[in-house]
C-alpha cells in the first residue's frame, strides 16, 4: 500500500508521545535525527490531523490525552484461534478510505484494514465521515461469499447487530441500532456502517464492510447531528482499548458472516428487534415527497416497515434518509 509522505516519521513521533507524558523537544529531535525546526513541523502536522499537542517552552511536548496506537499483532493475538487462522489484518497510519483501499485491491480474503486516520472517510450516500488521528476506529473487512447470499440487502443490519453485541460484551450498555446503519446511545450517534459489494447475481459476491466508530473523540468540528463516543458513554476505567475493540468486533463479524452466507437475515431478526431504536416511534422518511409514520420493524429483507395513513409502506435501504422524531 502506498504510504503518504512522512507517515512513518509521524507515527514514530506519535508513538513517543502516546503515553501522555511531557517529552523534551531536544530529545525528540535527537532521537528522530532532525532539527528542532523539522520536529516543530511534524508536531504541526499531527495537530492538523486532529491530535492536540501541548507545547511548553523549556519543558517540551505532550499530548492533551494519551492514546493507544493500533498494532496488528495485538489485534491478531486477541482474535479467537479459528478466526486468527483465517483473517489477515493490516494497519495503515493514514489512507483516504479503508473501504476504498480494499475495494481497489485484491489478495487473499478475508482481509481487514484499519487506519489511524482517513483523509476521505465516507458514510452512506457519499457523506463525509470525520476521521481524526488516533481517536476512533476506522475498520474495513473484505469478504467474498462463494454464492450471492440470501437477503443481501439486510447485510448492513446483520453487521450492526454483530457490532452492537460485541460492544455489549465489552461493557457498553444502552447501545441501539437506528435503521439502516447507525449505532446510537441515548439517541446520539456512536458509529456508522457502510457496505459496498461487487459481483454477479448468479456467482460470487465480494463485500467490503466498513465501520467508523467514535472511541475517544472529544470534538467534531462541522458535525451538526448529536453524537457520542465510547469514552463518553462508558466509565473511563471500563472503556476497552482500541486493539481489543477491533479484535472483538472482527471476531463477531466473521461469525456472523459465516451464518449469513447460508441463512441470510432470518437468524438475526429477533436480535434486530431487541436493538431497534426506531421501533414504535414516529419517523420521517425523506423520500420524494417525504412522509411520516410509525416504524414497525423490518421485514425478512431488511426493509423498514412504516405504518402511514392509508396503509403500511416498505422502505428500502439506501434510497432514503431517516429522522427520528423526539
d(CA 268, CA 177): 13
Catalytic residue chosen out of the listed positions 124, 206, 259, 296: 124
Q: Is 189 a catalytic residue?
A: yes
Q: Is 313 a catalytic residue?
A: no
Catalytic residue chosen out of the listed positions 22, 206, 313, 323: 323
Q: Is 176 a catalytic residue?
A: no
What dihedral do alpha carbons 96, 100, 101, 102 form, nearest 10°?
150
Give the cell for residue 67: 492514546
Listed in sequence order, the residues at least 6 apart from 112 whose beta carbon sits closer than 8 Å to its beta carbon are 87, 88, 89, 90, 139, 140, 141, 142, 246, 250
Catalytic residue chosen out of the listed positions 11, 189, 242, 248: 189
- Which residues are identified as catalytic? 124, 189, 323
Amino acid at each position: 500500500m502506498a504510504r503518504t509522505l512522512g507517515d512513518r516519521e509521524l507515527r514514530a513521533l506519535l508513538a513517543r508521545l502516546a503515553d501522555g507524558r511531557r517529552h523534551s523537544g531536544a530529545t525528540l529531535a535527537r532521537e528522530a535525527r532532525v532539527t528542532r525546526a523539522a520536529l516543530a513541523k511534524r508536531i504541526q502536522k499531527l495537530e492538523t490531523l486532529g491530535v492536540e499537542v501541548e507545547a511548553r517552552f523549556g519543558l517540551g511536548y505532550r499530548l492533551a490525552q494519551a492514546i493507544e496506537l493500533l498494532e496488528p499483532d495485538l489485534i491478531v493475538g486477541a482474535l479467537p484461534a479459528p478466526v486468527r487462522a483465517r483473517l489477515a489484518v493490516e494497519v495503515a497510519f493514514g489512507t483516504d478510505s479503508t473501504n476504498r483501499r480494499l475495494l481497489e485491491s485484491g489478495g487473499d480474503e478475508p482481509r481487514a484494514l484499519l487506519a489511524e486516520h482517513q483523509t476521505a472517510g465516507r458514510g452512506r450516500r457519499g457523506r463525509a465521515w470525520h476521521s481524526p488521528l488516533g481517536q476512533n476506529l476506522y475498520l474495513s473487512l473484505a469478504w467474498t461469499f462463494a454464492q450471492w447470499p440470501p437477503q443481501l440487502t439486510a447485510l448492513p443490519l446483520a453487521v450492526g447487530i454483530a457490532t452492537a453485541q460485541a460492544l455489549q460484551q465489552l461493557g457498553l450498555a444502552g447501545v441501539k441500532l437506528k435503521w439502516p446503519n447507525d449505532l446510537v446511545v441515548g439517541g446520539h450517534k456512536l458509529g456508522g456502517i457502510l457496505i459496498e459489494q461487487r459481483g454477479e447475481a448468479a456467482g460470487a459476491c465480494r463485500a467490503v464492510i466498513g465501520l467508523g466508530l467514535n472511541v475517544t473523540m472529544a470534538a467534531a468540528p462541522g458535525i451538526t447531528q448529536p453524537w457520542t463516543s465510547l469514552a463518553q458513554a462508558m466509565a473511563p476505567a471500563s472503556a476497552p482499548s482500541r486493539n481489543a475493540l477491533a479484535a472483538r468486533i472482527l471476531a463477531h463479524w466473521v461469525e456472523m458472516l459465516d451464518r449469513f452466507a447460508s441463512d441470510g437475515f432470518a437468524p438475526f431478526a429477533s436480535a434486530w428487534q431487541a436493538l431497534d431504536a426506531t421501533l414504535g416511534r414516529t419517523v420521517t422518511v425523506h423520500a420524494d415527497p417525504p412522509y411520516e409514520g410509525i416504524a414497525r420493524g423490518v421485514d425478512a429483507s431488511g426493509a423498514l416497515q412504516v405504518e402511514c395513513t392509508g396503509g403500511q409502506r416498505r422502505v428500502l435501504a439506501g434510497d432514503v434518509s431517516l429522522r427520528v422524531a423526539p
